[in-house]
Each structure stands twice: as C-alpha cells, then as structure tokens.
C-alpha cells in the first residue's frame, strides 16, 4: 500500500476532527476506531494516522523556535501578520502558529491507541507483537508534550482517551495544568525501560523496510534513546540536577555507540582548499545521512498536510521573491568573528598553519569571512529577468539551502528533520559540560570523540577519564579491544569512554604518509566513521587552531603553583614572603609562567596542550572556569550549526533554565548579554518566554 493511501485510510478510520482552532476541540472527542480488540491492520492505520497528525506540526516546530530568537530578521512589509508577531515575540492567541489543538490531536490519538492495543500479545520469541508500535506511539506523545512544555510552560495533561465532548470541555476549562517537571517525569518514566533493552534501531517500526519518496518508514519514527537524551537534558536544565545530565550523557552515548549501529558526526564540511583562501568547497544544506528522524510531508495539499517553510525562508514566485525572513546581522556577526584555521601541506612545501583574514574586502563574498556554514546555507542571486517582467517582484532572489531542496523553490518539501545527529552531538556536549566534563565537551567541538581522543591525556585528563568510566551503558555490553588485558579493562568496559577504535576513527594530520610518486596523504587511523570536531565543519582544522582553546590565560595561571621545571629561572619571590600586589611580583610571575611554558614546550611537544590539560587542572575551581568558557563555545556552535532549523529560541530558554529558572519574562544570563548584548530591533527583554494558551 502506498504511503499516501495509508495515511488517508488512517485518517478516515480515525475520524478525528480537529479542524478548528478553538480550545473546545483541544482534546478531540470523536474517534470511530475506538476498540479494545485492535487487529494488526487496525494498529497500522492508527499509527499512520498519528504520523498524519504530526504533519500539521511541521511549520510551527521550526518557526516558534527560530523566528522568535536573534538569528533571523522579519520582513516588516512582506511577511504575514502571524510571522511578524513571531518576530516581535508578541504572539496573539489567534496566531496560526499558536494552536495547541494540533498537538492534542496527536496526543489523544496516541492515548486512544495505547488504551486499545493488546500490549501483552506475544509475537515470535520473547518479543511482544506490538512492541515497536507502542514504542513509536509513546515517543510521539512524549515529543508532543515536550514541545508543548517548551512553548507554553504549563499545559493540560491527559494520558487517557478523550471520547466525549463534555469530558474535553471539562479538561480545557479546568485550571489544572502540568509544568515541565511533571511532564518530563512522566515521559521519562514511560520510556526509560526501552533503554534497558539490547535493541536500538530494531525498536523503530519499519513495516517491512518499505520506503516513501526515498524515506524509510523506520526514519519516520523517533529513536527512543535519542529522545530520552533530550528529555533528560531538559529535565536537568529545569531542575538543575546533576543526575539528569549524567543520564542524558548515557542515553546519547548509547544511541551513538550501539553495537553495529554506530553513528558519527557528519563530515559534510565547507572548507577552503588552498592556503591563499581563494578556492573553496562549499556544501549546501546538511547531509541527508545526518538526519536521525524525519517528518514526512505531502507535496500537494490535495493529498494531505503540506509545509510552507520554503515560502517563509526562500524567494518564490508565490511570494513575489520576497521571503518572510532573512539571516540577521547578529548571525552574520557570529559567523565572521570565528577564526578559520587551515592546516595545509603538499608534496613540496612543509606543513603550514594559517588563518583566514578578518577583512571582508579580502573575499569575493563578504559572508566568506570566518565560518563558512552561513555562506553554504544562504544564497543571494540576481532576479533581474523576473523583476523586469513584473515590477512587484524582488530584483534579488534569496534562498536558505536547508529549505531549498533540488533548486525548485516553488516545489513543496517532502520532509523536514525532527532530529539531526550533529545537533544531538552538540546536546551531548552541553550535558557533558553541565555535568562537570568540560574537557570531553570541548573535544566534541575541537577533535571529535574516538578512542584516540578519550585515551590521549593531552585532550582528556586522567581525572575526567576516570569519572567518565563511571557512566555505564544500559541494555548492551561493549569493550574496547585495546583495553582488553590491561588494568583499564574492568573500569572501562560498558562505559562512556568506549568509542570502539575499529569503528570510530580519526585522521592524524600530524603524520604525513609518503608515496613513491611523491604524493603525501594524511594517515587515516582506525575505523570507518571518521570523527572530526563539529567546529571544523565550517572553521577548518580546529585541532590546530590556537585561537580556539579550552583554557584562557587566566585558567592557565592555575598551573603556576604546580609547575616545577628544572631549567626555568626561579622567581625572585620563590621561597620568600612577597607582596602579591606589587608590580615586581606580577612581573616575575608572568616571566616564570612564560619560561615554564617554553620549557615544557621544548620537552618534546609540538603544542601547549600537554601543559593545558595536566591533571592539576581538574580542580573544582578550574573546572568551573572551563565550564563557563565551554558553555559559550557550545552555544555559539549550536547557533551556527543549527541556524534556521528551529533550535535557537529553545536553546536560549534551556540555557536560561540552567543559569537560573526561567520566569514569565526573559532575563538573559549575564554572560549572554555581556557577549551578545540584548536583542536589537525586536528587543526581547521583558517579553514572555511562554505563549498563552488560547481562551475557550
């Protein structure tokens, strides 16, 4: 059966009529397939009907999370009134994107399915017959409730089917609302048992490995471990609880490293290919293999639900080539202030590290300065022919490549990603940093996670490595072959530090392999999933970038009490009582610091990483300084890597929770306002984080 037919049949059989936007329909009360004796065919129709309901959430999932933040500017003339309200973060209860009824249409259908399905029915072996579908439906319900909590703060919460209109009205009229903590507690408890199973992708329904428009059915369903990682991260942020961050780390790790289903960071990078920064290889959009789960959509409204995201972000004939939003000056500032680092070599010249000039006039396009991901995702070209034909048309054509597809701007999109693996890696970094593992969080940005990274003490200190070993995987066992038979085997088995070397590899750019014909190549080490730092996706060779660092000079000064080299000049104040406020004391301290770094650097190391990451820097005081610095790096990276995809507003909300509970108004953490200032134009300070639920 074709996908569209399945969705249509599912919709007709379900008979759910949430076509209006009034809160009387917030919980849909009609359902023609209410039964406690569902057959497998019935459950198929119900599940695909839920997928069809999910389609109506596509646009608001992106726009509520992106347009309200600081990375986009709204066209005050050509954008719709609804989009302009989003840009001002002053959203009326009649706004088309402020309709919780559509979330509850999904939730109620999930509740109806779960109430009717026989969860005890036995399939082959020990597997329950409907296990995959039940997991899928519970994931959809949890995802919807998480979105509602992020958007509204407190919402009506129901887990039983609503089958009568008076019951629906009573629920809506009730003042009882569940906050994020209650919602997350329920959703985590509802899903956490799946993390104890020795199964991962097999928990996602596939209906016989069928595909629709090149999308596998299994990709339409959320990976439960990844979803649990998100739920734990949000609960840790809301409750500021260390245990939740640890569980988020565990869930993300187990999702990425599940045996024979390992997932690496996307290596689709935009880069300069020469040392003069004149030739470049720009990748458009994001890699399809990077998408962890998608929401399939119909391409014409005749068949079902469609998305208008392309018309919001891109020039089209239908909008006279004026998109509703364009990248903001703040996003351009983020991008151009990044330092692009290039490690270059050829068969003749020695290796060289160079940095892209911070001079917009140096480049063909001004957006080529700094990080290249914006120039890879945003395109401006002449629309002279069309504007000559019609004076109402824009003379320029704008396109954001993440919503451009195959170049046909007026064609509807067939899917949008719900989860993207590179974003999940950044959320792993966020959880690691908040849990007290800033070195490993930084490694995700600068190096990529692999056996090499985790086992290199210049990158991950012994203190942090030991604490990572205490985070054990759930549901499966895994070992690192190189640890087998060593004293580390027992402590590392089944722990976070296992990123198997025969699967996760890296490229050793310090080592050049020579060939007889004079060519030289970098040595590829270990597995097939080559891990790189996420910052390198747009900023070159981050592992060589001394301007992108874990520790600043203030943090490095913590080394001074511990460094005791033989050769450097002993400070004049050494062993004597000295006035720490005197200029002489400070001058001698600085000189001792510089001499010590030089001495250690001369001891057979080609960088200062050995000094920067010695065990003494594992103190609580220094760890706090590292966490403060790394959280800014992660937030920058989330902005640039996730731009236009609907993450930014909710990233800021989550960081606000982590710094201090978010109230009804926006009060940005001091480190954000100091670095980025208050939001200009659409000044969001004092505006609500949460939307108001529409009245009856």
Structure tokens at 117: 């399905």
Q: What is the pLDDT of residue 350?
A: 77
The yes-or-no verdict on residue 12 having pLDDT over 60 is no
SS3 344: strand
Q: What is the pLDDT of residue 297?
A: 86
The share of the chain scoring above pLDDT 70, in percent, equals 78
Which residues, 6+ apart, have CB-to-CB distance to 640 below 8 Å?
Answer: 331, 334, 335, 338, 371, 373, 374, 538
Report whether 531 contacts 450 (CB < 8 A). Answer: yes
CA proximity to 222, closest of 200, 237, 207: 200
The yes-or-no verdict on residue 16 having pLDDT over 70 is no
**Could you tell me if residue 22 is left (phi over 0), alpha (psi between -120 and 50 degrees) or otherwise beta?**
beta
CA distances to 46, 373, 554, 563 from 652, in Å: 36, 21, 27, 39
Report whether 385 contacts 559 (CB < 8 A). Answer: no
| Cα dihedral: 599, 600, 605, 611 (round 10) | -150
Angle at 109 between CA 105 and CA 113, to 5 degrees: 175
Q: What is the pLDDT of residue 301?
A: 65
The yes-or-no verdict on residue 610 having pLDDT over 90 is no
Q: What is the pLDDT of residue 176?
A: 82
Which residues, 6+ apart, have CB-to-CB distance to 457 below 8 Å?
Answer: 465, 613
- 130-165 pLDDT per residue, tens: 899 999 999 999 999 999 999 999 999 999 988 877
CA proximity to 95, closest of 83, 104, 79, 87: 83
What pairs with residue 215 in β-bridges? 212
- 255-284 pLDDT per residue, tens: 999 999 999 999 899 999 988 999 999 988
Q: Exposed, middle or buried, 457 (CB in 10 Å: 0-12/13-18/19+)? A: middle
Please give the Cα distance from 399 to 215 (Å, whole number).
24
Worst-scoring range by mean pLDDT, 106-110, 276-280, 512-516?
Answer: 512-516
Q: What is the pLDDT of residue 551?
A: 81
Structure tokens at 271: 């880069």
Q: In the structure, what pLDDT confidence band is assigned to residue 559 with cuts at 50, 70 and 90? A: low
Worst-scoring range by mean pLDDT, 324-328, 664-668, 691-695?
Answer: 664-668
Q: What is the pLDDT of residue 680?
A: 56
CA distances to 70, 145, 640 from 374, in Å: 15, 32, 7
Q: What is the pLDDT of residue 608?
A: 44
Taking residues 354-362, report their average pLDDT.
94
Worst-scoring range by mean pLDDT, 293-307, 552-566, 596-610?
Answer: 596-610
Structure tokens at 189: 């408890």
Q: What is the pLDDT of residue 526?
A: 87
Phi then psi for 390, rounded to 5 degrees? -145, 120
Q: What is the pLDDT of residue 5?
A: 37
Q: What is the pLDDT of residue 151?
A: 95
The CATH classification number of 3-178 equals 1.25.40
SS3 175: coil
The yes-or-no verdict on residue 247 having pLDDT over 70 is yes
The yes-or-no verdict on residue 539 having pLDDT over 60 is yes
Taking residues 571-589, report their average pLDDT.
54
Q: What is the pLDDT of residue 687?
A: 80
The yes-or-no verdict on residue 95 having pLDDT over 70 is yes
Q: In the structure, what pLDDT confidence band is assigned to residue 170 with cuts at 50, 70 and 90? A: confident
SS3 599: helix
Structure tokens at 555: 């943090």
The yes-or-no verdict on residue 696 having pLDDT over 60 is no
Q: What is the pLDDT of residue 575?
A: 44
Average pLDDT, the chain: 83
Q: What is the pLDDT of residue 498?
A: 96
For the chain, the structural domain boundaries read 3-178
Question: Which tops the pLDDT comparison, 89 or 254?
Answer: 254
Q: pTM for the full model? A: 0.88
- 217-244 pLDDT per residue, tens: 889 999 999 999 999 999 999 999 999 9
Structure tokens at 140: 């959809």
């Amino acid at each position: 059966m074709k996908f569209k037919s399945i969705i249509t049949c599912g919709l007709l059989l379900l008979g759910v009529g949430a076509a209006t936007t009034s809160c009387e329909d917030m919980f849909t009360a009609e359902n023609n397939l209410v039964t406690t004796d569902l057959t497998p065919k019935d459950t198929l129709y119900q599940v695909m009907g839920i997928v069809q309901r999910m389609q109506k959430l596509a646009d608001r999932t992106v726009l509520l999370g992106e347009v309200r933040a600081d990375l986009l500017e709204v066209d005050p003339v050509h954008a719709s009134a609804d989009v302009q309200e989003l840009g001002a973060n002053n959203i009326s209860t009649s706004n088309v994107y402020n309709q919780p009824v559509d979330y509850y249409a999904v939730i109620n259908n999930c509740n109806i399915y779960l109430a009717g399905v026989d969860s005890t029915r036995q399939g082959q072996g020990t597997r329950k017959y409907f296990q995959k579908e039940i997991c899928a439906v519970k994931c959809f319900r949890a995802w919807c409730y998480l979105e509602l909590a992020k958007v509204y703060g407190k919402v009506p919460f129901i887990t039983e089917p609503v089958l009568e209109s008076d019951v629906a009205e009573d629920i809506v009229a009730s003042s009882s609302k569940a906050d994020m903590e209650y919602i997350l507690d329920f959703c985590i408890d509802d899903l956490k048992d799946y993390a104890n199973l020795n199964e991962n992708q097999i928990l996602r329904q596939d209906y016989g490995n069928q595909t629709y428009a090149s999308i596998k059915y299994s990709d339409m369903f959320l990976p439960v471990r990844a979803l649990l990682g998100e739920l734990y991260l949000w609960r840790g942020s809301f409750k500021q609880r260390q245990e939740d961050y640890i569980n988020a780390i565990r869930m993300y790790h187990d999702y990425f490293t599940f045996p024979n289903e390992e997932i690496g960071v996307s290596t689709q990078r935009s880069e300069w290919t020469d040392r003069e920064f004149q030739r470049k290889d720009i990748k458009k959009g994001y890699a399809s293999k990077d998408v962890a789960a998608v929401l399939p959509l119909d391409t014409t409204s005749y068949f079902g639900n469609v998305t208008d995201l392309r018309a919001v972000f891109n020039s089209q004939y239908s909008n006279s080539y004026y998109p509703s939003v364009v990248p903001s000056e703040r996003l351009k500032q983020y991008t151009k202030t990044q330092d692009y680092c290039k490690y270059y070599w050829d068969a003749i010249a020695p290796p060289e590290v160079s940095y892209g000039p911070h001079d917009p006039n140096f480049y063909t396009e001004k957006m080529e300065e700094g990080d290249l991901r914006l120039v890879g995702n945003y395109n401006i070209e002449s629309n002279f022919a069309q504007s000559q034909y019609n004076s109402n048309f824009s003379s320029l054509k704008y396109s954001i490549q993440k919503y451009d597809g195959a170049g046909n701007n007026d064609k509807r999109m067939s899917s949008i990603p719900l989860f993207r693996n590179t974003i999940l890696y950044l959320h792993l970094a966020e959880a690691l940093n908040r849990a007290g593992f800033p070195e490993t969080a930084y490694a995700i940005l600068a190096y990529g996670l692999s056996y090499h990274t985790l086992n290199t003490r210049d990158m991950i200190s012994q203190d942090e490595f030991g604490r990572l070993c205490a985070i054990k995987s759930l549901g499966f066992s895994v070992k690192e072959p190189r640890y087998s038979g060593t004293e580390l085997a027992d402590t590392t088995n089944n722990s976070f530090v296992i990123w198997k070397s025969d699967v996760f590899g890296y490229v050793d750019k310090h080592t050049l392999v020579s060939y007889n014909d004079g060519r030289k190549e970098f040595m590829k080490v270990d597995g097939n999933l080559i891990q790189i730092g996420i910052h390198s996706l747009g900023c070159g060779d981050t592992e060589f970038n001394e301007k992108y660092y874990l520790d600043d000079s203030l943090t490095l000064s913590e080394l001074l009490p511990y460094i005791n080299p033989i050769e450097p000049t002993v400070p004049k104040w050494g062993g004597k009582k000295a006035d720490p406020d005197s200029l002489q004391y400070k001058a001698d301290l600085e000189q001792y610091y510089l001499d010590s770094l030089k001495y250690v650097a001369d001891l057979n190391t080609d960088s200062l990483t050995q000094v920067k990451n010695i065990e003494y820097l594992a103190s609580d005081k220094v760890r706090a300084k590292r966490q403060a610095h790394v959280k800014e790096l992660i937030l920058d990276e989330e902005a640039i890597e996730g731009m236009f995809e609907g993450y930014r507003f909710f990233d800021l909300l989550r960081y606000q929770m982590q710094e201090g509970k978010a109230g009804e108004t926006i009060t940005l953490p001091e480190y954000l306002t100091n670095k980025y200032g208050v939001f200009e134009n659409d000044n969001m300070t004092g505006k609500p984080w949460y939307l108001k639920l529409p009245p009856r």
